Structure 1
Amino acid sequence: MLAPVLIFVYARPEHTRKTIESLASNYLASATDVFIFSDAPKNEKANEKVKLVREYIDTLSDQEIFKSLKIIKAEYNKGLANSIISGVNEIIKLNRQVIVLEDDLITSPDFLGYMNDALEFYERNKKIWSISGYTFNLDFPEKYKSEVYLSYRGCSWGWATWEDRWNAVDWQVSDYMTFKKSKSLRYKFNRGGRDMSAMLDAQIDGKIDSWAIRWCYSQFKLNMFTVYPKVSRVKNIGLDGSGTHSGISNRYDTSLNTSTKKCEFDHPELDDEIIRLFKDRFGTRFEYFVIWNKKLIKKMLRI
């Protein structure tokens, strides 16, 4: 049985259209159940764009693109973090596994095949936390022959997981004070990227509202890994300043898979060189706060 796809949309009608159209072009689209979660506008400024998004997704039911389609429209603004946590909670208990997209992600035609095959292959491997559809363009070591690799960090740009892993997340980060005071724990958490400890601090301090950093923290606590493809099945088109939580950047541009060959999964070991290359794609703690403070200042000036 194929995993259902959850798509979280908000106020970007053109991005949403591209996300849906690329998913509809997947080989397994007609065999896949899809749930679209549409968040309500946060303020009057977002009203028109949310309306346009909802008008567009309402046209999809008659097109019979997917095996089934259910649209869930929030009556009040939940924000991305609460939308994803509550939406995944609702669907994963019925299906035991989910594939998740947001409204700014273009997928390759084999995305659904890759994700479903990976979910099946790694389900019994209790060291695997999640499956990522996205990857950076990395210069892999010549000796590295696997078609996938492992990382300490989950990815929110097209991902999948199982019910037992999802239910293991401590959304309250109940041991944060211990973590905050421990240099060794903070250093270890940053194996997935130098920004991770600073992001968790910002989350707890109320400066950001991120489900993903809390998800990654639970992954770290449980010493589990995320499987990434060597060739990306997802491209993020939202780093153009249009998103609520994203600025403008080409740091994460990647090449989308065009091969029709199925990915051959195996059980690779952690590769130190790949881990280093992966980690280097994320900014330092200083860079994180510079970017965040710039965004905060801009937001304050708009008020």
Structure 2
Amino acid sequence: MPHAPIALFCFNRPEHLAKTLDSLSQAHGLRQSVIHAFCDGPRNDADQDGVAAVRALLRQRSATLPIVLHEKQANLGLQQSIVQGVTELVETQGRAIVLEDDILVSPHFLSFMNDALDRYADEPKVMHIAAYFPPTPVEGLPQCFFYRPASCWGWATWAESWRHLQLDAASLLSRLEGEAGHAFNLEGAYGFLNHLKLNLQGRINTWAIFWYASVYLRGGLCLHPARSLAWNIGHDGSGANCKGTSVFDVELAQEPVTRFPEELRECPEALARARAFFLAHTSVSRQEA
């Protein structure tokens, strides 16, 4: 299979984007890939300089990187920008690898994504490939495993899976009552449901929680590596939807993932370690956004 297209979502942070592009330029297999840079438009006059700087940077880097620009004049917002961009790529090319402008990747990121997309392409139960797992001890864990949240800091999916995305917060919440919601919240370790409630109230405008809920309610599986292949550097207070914190920081994997799970079921030990991580960081796991 040809390498999956890379959707890179950008807005007004050229310094973060430069670091993302630097890391991506070192990823094995980039030369067999195409980066589709989706650039959202400014919200107001204060965004103009940052948006212009991002687009200038992408044009400059396109001389050495396989970048195709998709520039929006109006501001779509994070949710609409990502949903539209991912939908465009998967509908035309069948699959997509997705990054935002504040994600650093391991040199083995693209290899893992493309290998997993090929390996599970005919397994409808597998709906999401993630590059990030919380910083927990890796001893005793397989190289990669299935774990229920659809982690969105570097991820990939197929057209058939993405068609099941639902964006009705009220409907999703109604189906996540009781035990379903408790399990969705990692048995109470993380307040994922709060993110749906805040979207319903109009207090935030995000997309990833809708994707996780859509996958979870279909009984879908999400593949994760034990050692993260992506790192979100946007927890520095510069982003609209991430508060400042360092608890999610990881050391990027320097070895490739070569072994994939044969059995299509969640890894209990990975779930236990993720729960322990979130319970140990109560202020983060309980935060509302």
SS in 2 for 1:281: helix
SS in 1 for 2:63: helix
Equivalence map 1:79-158=2 (5 Å): 79-140=77-138, 142=140, 144=141, 146-158=142-154
Is contact 1:38-1:72 (8 Å) kept?
Answer: yes
Deviation >3 Å, runs of 4+: 280-284, 286-292
User: Structure 1 residues 141 and 60, CA, compared in 2 at 3 Å: closer, same or farther?
Assistant: closer
What is residue 201 of structure 1 aligned with on the other side?
Answer: 197
Is contact 2:30-2:110 (8 Å) kept?
Answer: yes
What is residue 225 of structure 1 aligned with on the other side?
Answer: 221
What is residue 274 of structure 1 aligned with on the other side?
Answer: 270
How far apart, CA to CA, are the structure 1 residues paired with 2:10 and 2:285? 27
Is contact 1:141-1:274 (8 Å) kept?
Answer: no
User: Structure 1 residues 137 and 287, CA, compared in 2 at 3 Å: closer, same or farther?
Assistant: closer
Q: CA deviation at 1:282?
A: 3.6
* Deviation by residue 1:62-103 (Cα, 9 ceiling, x = unmatched): 22x22xx21011111111111000011111111100000000
Q: Structure 2: which amino acid aligns with 1:191?
A: L
Could you list the runs of 5+ residues in structure 2 that have no partner in the other structure?
A: none
Q: Structure 2: which amino acid aligns with 1:97?
A: R
User: Structure 1 residues 61 and 282, CA, compared in 2 at 3 Å: closer, same or farther?
Assistant: same
User: Structure 1 residues 233 and 288, CA, compared in 2 at 3 Å: closer, same or farther?
Assistant: closer
Is contact 1:195-1:288 (8 Å) kept?
Answer: no
How far apart, CA to CA, are the structure 1 residues paired with 2:285 and 2:197? 11
Q: CA deviation at 1:179?
A: 3.2
Equivalence map 1:1-303=2 (5 Å): 1-63=2-64, 65-66=65-66, 69-140=67-138, 142=140, 144=141, 146-173=142-169, 175-176=171-172, 178-179=174-175, 182-191=177-186, 194-259=190-255, 261-268=256-263, 269-282=265-278, 287=283, 291-292=287-288
Percent of pairs identical after alignment?
A: 27
Could you list the runs of 5+ residues in structure 1 that have no partner in the other structure?
A: 296-303
Is contact 2:279-2:285 (8 Å) kept?
Answer: no
* Deviation by residue 1:81-135 (Cα, 9 ceiling, x = unmatched): 1100001111111110000000001111111111000111111222212001112
Q: CA deviation at 1:162?
A: 0.4
Q: CA deviation at 1:184?
A: 2.3
Compute the RMSD of aligned alpha carbons. Answer: 2.2
TM-score when normalising by structure 1: 0.87
Is contact 1:195-1:283 (8 Å) kept?
Answer: no
Q: CA deviation at 1:290?
A: 7.4
Q: CA deviation at 1:289?
A: 9.8
SS in 2 for 1:186: helix
Q: CA deviation at 1:48?
A: 1.1
